């Protein structure tokens, strides 16, 4: 009876997405109305992040079983979205996603794929780790087609998509998969890891990479800050308070603004099984302000100080995981070839660089890789090292997009 009633409600009230370029002088306004379900806010924000839209303001409301959100968005240069084809694509993508979610019994989040094999790794971070993992994969005939690597609080997580060099498809040989798993486990274990590394290999499907990396580092408890690890840039300010008169818990976040910040915080709250009933997001002058009225999925607000503190720590970690101040940003764009990632990361290792974060992608025979690097102590990269790397890799292939203190791009 409940299922049939829910279907009827969805048919009577289909999702609606409106993209308005006239309502605001400085941003494109996107309004999404739909029957509410747990996780739909994250899926909408995920679409905006994947389309490289910057959310400058947002108003969230999902009381009484209805989801009504308004997002003010720009491109990365701060301009309104004026291209009509782009505006149409944004609207159709959001409508398709919301319709799809409303047709499911539960939120899935896994994209089926037999084109490649997905490898997930978590463990202790150390200098040269990405180079060692890349070398093992190359030695075993695994071609890295896409990957994303994050490090935070001395922990590392990676989602890597590989194909068999000989076939160009997912790796199906059970013996080879077993060898890959064994050798990568040994690399991740190292000599001094106080936690057992985690690893999985699958050809059945993959989850959204950034969401999966958040989940992996959360499961590895990277929100527990080691005494010898310090976050160099301005630490996020997160508060969690009771709102007993309205039966909510209020979460307030102030931090440096950056792309995909909203996704990172909503992703963490959703995966911790909290529901955002009301929210306000405002950015300006490089600072972001976020305020959320939340409850646990069971309908109750946070009931203890220990749980409040855990939410604070986890949100701080989510914001810090891909803070752009973490190192010098390098972008490599060149012809793709087997073993390219292994060669590039070996050059970084030999020149004393440590990879803090990386995004690897290949398409149409071209490789586009972005790395955030520091020296092995976490300090800025000196100019001589920059020159050496450019000489070894090729100045035409490597760009220095953003420097931290001590390095000029």
Identical fold between 2-108+234-320 and 112-224+325-402: yes
CA distance 224 to 294: 23
* SS3 assignment, position 217: helix
Structure tokens given for 130:
């990405």
Grouping H, G, I as helix, E, B as strand and the rest as coil, residue 281 is strand
Which pLDDT belongs to residue 404?
Answer: 44
pTM listed for this prediction: 0.89
Do 255 and 288 meet the contact criterion of CB atoms below 8 Å apart? yes
Fold of 112-224+325-402: Alpha-Beta Plaits (3.30.70)
Looking at residue 136, what is its pLDDT?
A: 97
**Cα distance between residue 109 and residue 62, in whole Å:** 21
In CATH, the architecture of 2-108+234-320 is: 2-Layer Sandwich (3.30)
Tell me the domain boundaries of the chain: 2-108+234-320, 112-224+325-402
Degrees (nearest 5) of the Cα angle 54, 59, 65? 125
For residue 93, give every residue at least 6 positions away whose Cβ sits within 8 Å of its Cβ, in sequence order, or none: 47, 51
Neighbouring-strand partners of residue 279: 60, 292
What is the residue-level pLDDT of the chain in tens, covering all 409 positions? 455 545 544 444 567 899 999 999 999 999 999 888 888 899 999 999 999 999 999 999 987 678 899 999 999 999 999 999 999 999 999 988 887 766 654 343 444 456 889 999 999 999 999 999 999 999 999 999 999 999 999 999 999 999 999 999 999 899 999 999 999 999 998 766 667 888 888 875 567 999 999 999 999 999 998 766 555 556 899 999 998 778 999 999 999 999 999 999 999 999 999 999 999 999 987 899 999 999 999 999 998 999 999 999 999 999 999 986 667 999 999 999 999 999 999 999 999 999 999 999 999 999 999 999 999 888 889 889 988 998 898 866 777 665 443 333 3
Strand blocks (E) in 136-213: 142-152, 155-164, 198-202, 205-207
Q: How far apart are CA 58 and CA 261, in angstroms?
A: 12
What pLDDT is stored for residue 390 in this prediction? 86
- Measured between alpha carbons, how far is 71 from 282 in angstroms, rounded to an integer? 10
pLDDT at 41: 93
What is the pLDDT, as a whole number, of residue 153?
93
pLDDT at 400: 67
What's the Cα-to-Cα distance from 306 to each of 120, 178, 222, 258, 309, rounded to whole Å? 30, 41, 17, 29, 5
Query: Which pLDDT score is estimated for 111?
Result: 45
Give the tokens for residue 4: 């049939």
- Residue 402 to residues 5, 128, 328, 372: CA-CA distances in angstroms? 53, 22, 6, 9
Task: Calculate Rg over the CA atoms of the chain.
Answer: 22
Which of the 8 DSSP states describes residue 365?
Answer: T
Q: What is the pLDDT of residue 263?
A: 97
Give residue 333's pLDDT.
Answer: 92
């Amino acid at each position: 009876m409940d299922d049939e009633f829910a279907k009827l409600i969805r048919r009577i009230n289909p999702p609606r997405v409106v993209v308005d370029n006239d309502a605001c002088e400085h941003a494109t306004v996107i309004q999404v109305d739909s029957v509410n379900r747990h996780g739909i806010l994250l899926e909408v924000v995920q679409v905006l992040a994947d389309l490289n839209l910057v959310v400058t303001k947002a108003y969230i409301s999902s009381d009484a079983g209805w989801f009504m959100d308004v997002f003010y968005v720009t491109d990365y240069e701060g301009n309104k979205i004026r291209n009509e084809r782009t505006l149409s694509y944004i609207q159709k993508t959001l409508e398709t996603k919301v319709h799809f979610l409303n047709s499911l019994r539960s939120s899935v989040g896994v994209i089926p794929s037999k084109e490649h094999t997905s490898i997930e790794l978590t463990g202790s971070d150390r200098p040269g780790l990405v180079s060692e993992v890349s070398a093992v994969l190359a030695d075993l005939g695994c071609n890295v087609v896409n990957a994303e690597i994050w490090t935070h609080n001395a922990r590392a997580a990676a989602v890597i998509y590989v194909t068999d060099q000989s076939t160009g498809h997912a790796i199906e040989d059970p013996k080879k998969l077993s060898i890959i798993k064994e050798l990568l486990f040994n690399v991740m274990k190292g000599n001094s890891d106080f936690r057992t590394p985690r690893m999985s290999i699958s050809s059945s499907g993959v989850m959204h990479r950034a969401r999966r990396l958040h989940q992996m580092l959360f499961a590895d408890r990277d929100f527990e800050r080691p005494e010898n690890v310090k976050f160099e840039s301005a630490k996020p300010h997160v508060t969690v308070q009771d709102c007993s008169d309205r039966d909510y818990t209020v979460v307030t976040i102030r931090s440096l603004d950056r792309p995909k910040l909203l996704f990172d915080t909503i992703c963490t709250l959703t995966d911790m099984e909290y529901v955002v009933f009301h929210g306000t997001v405002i950015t300006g002058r490089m600072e972001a302000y976020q305020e959320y009225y939340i409850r646990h999925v069971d309908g109750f607000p946070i009931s203890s100080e220990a749980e409040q503190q855990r939410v604070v720590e986890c949100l701080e970690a989510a914001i810090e995981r891909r803070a752009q101040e973490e190192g010098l940003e390098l972008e490599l764009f060149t012809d793709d070839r087997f073993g390219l990632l292994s060669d590039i990361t070996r050059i970084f290792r030999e020149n004393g660089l440590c990879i803090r974060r990386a995004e690897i992608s290949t398409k149409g025979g071209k490789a586009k890789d972005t790395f955030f690097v520091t020296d092995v102590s976490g300090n800025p990269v000196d100019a001589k090292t920059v020159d050496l790397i450019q000489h070894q890799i090729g100045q035409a292939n490597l760009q220095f997009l953003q420097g931290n203190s001590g390095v000029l791009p």
